[in-house]
Amino acid sequence: MLGAIVGDVVGSAYEFHPVHTTDFDPFPPRSTFTDDSVLTFATADVLLNGGSYADAYRRFGVAYPGRGYGGRFAIWLRDATAGPYGSLGNGSAMRVAPIGWTFDSLEETLAEAKKSAECTHNHPEGIKGAQATAALIFLARKGRTKAEMKEYVRKTFEYDLERSLDEVRATAKFDETCPVSVPEAFVAFFESETFEETVRNCVSFGADADTQACAAGAIAEAFGCEIPKEWRETTIGKLDDKLRAILDEFETRFKSR
């Protein structure tokens, strides 16, 4: 789960200040945790303590205002009676990481990812983005090879993962939809050797940097890529006591699975 949070914080400074290089400061003064992290912690809270995803997303969203929530999600957040709004945005994928660590089977993981998405992102592509991300985390922590993981995603979700990093970097633009941004994040993971390289490649696309680095960072951590100590410590230092407590409890309960 921490891989998602680190990716979000590193990408946060470049979401609206895009770069097209991997040579950048990972923690400039404006770096912070965004809605990606807030809602990832909300997902973890449901898995730890029960309750509905809709209630948790609203509760955490209200507790952490001004973190970059999307327009339609922000409206949904303030209306306790609102239902899902057919989104295919990558908000479903950015918050799903804890689900990839929690369950003993791929079938359970896919079902729970769908459940977490459909309270807001009930468009088939929104659900698919969440399921694909959670599935890759599950497969990574179960020791599957990158080739096996890529083939599963290609067959199951029909994402194009054959582009090179240079091809993605040359064509990427800010697009918050799952069909565009999620497979780009996957390419960054598949074409990198380390956690840091994965996150830097995501940011270098000059697109939705925090969300793509959040998703790819979560997969890289599950794959066994070590988060640099400085990155881990700096990120944790940006969280408050409540979020650090959730992270500690989640890692204690699920990280060894």
CA pair distance 78, 49, nearest whole angstrom: 23
The model carries a pTM of: 0.97
pLDDT (mean) for 56-81: 96
Contact by Cβ (8 Å): 205, 168: yes
pLDDT at site 256: 62
Q: Is the pLDDT of residue 238 over 80?
A: yes
Q: Is the pLDDT of residue 88 over 90?
A: yes
The tens digit of pLDDT for each residue in 108-140 reads: 999 999 999 999 999 999 999 999 999 999 999
Tokens encoding 193: 């050797």
CA pair distance 16, 32, nearest whole angstrom: 13
pLDDT at site 255: 73
Residues 6+ positions from 148 with CB-CB distance below 8 Å? 139
| Backbone phi, psi, residue 89, to 5° | -70, 165
The tens digit of pLDDT for each residue in 186-213 reads: 999 999 999 999 999 999 999 999 999 9
Beta bridge mates, 177? 89
Count of domains in the chain?
Answer: 1
pLDDT at site 191: 97
Contact by Cβ (8 Å): 129, 93: yes
Strands in the chain per DSSP E: none
Find the domain containing 7 and state its range: 2-254
Contact by Cβ (8 Å): 186, 213: no
Contact by Cβ (8 Å): 195, 220: yes
| Backbone phi, psi, residue 23, to 5° | -95, 85
What is the domain-level CATH number for residue 206? 1.10.4080.10
Tokens encoding 15: 């979401």
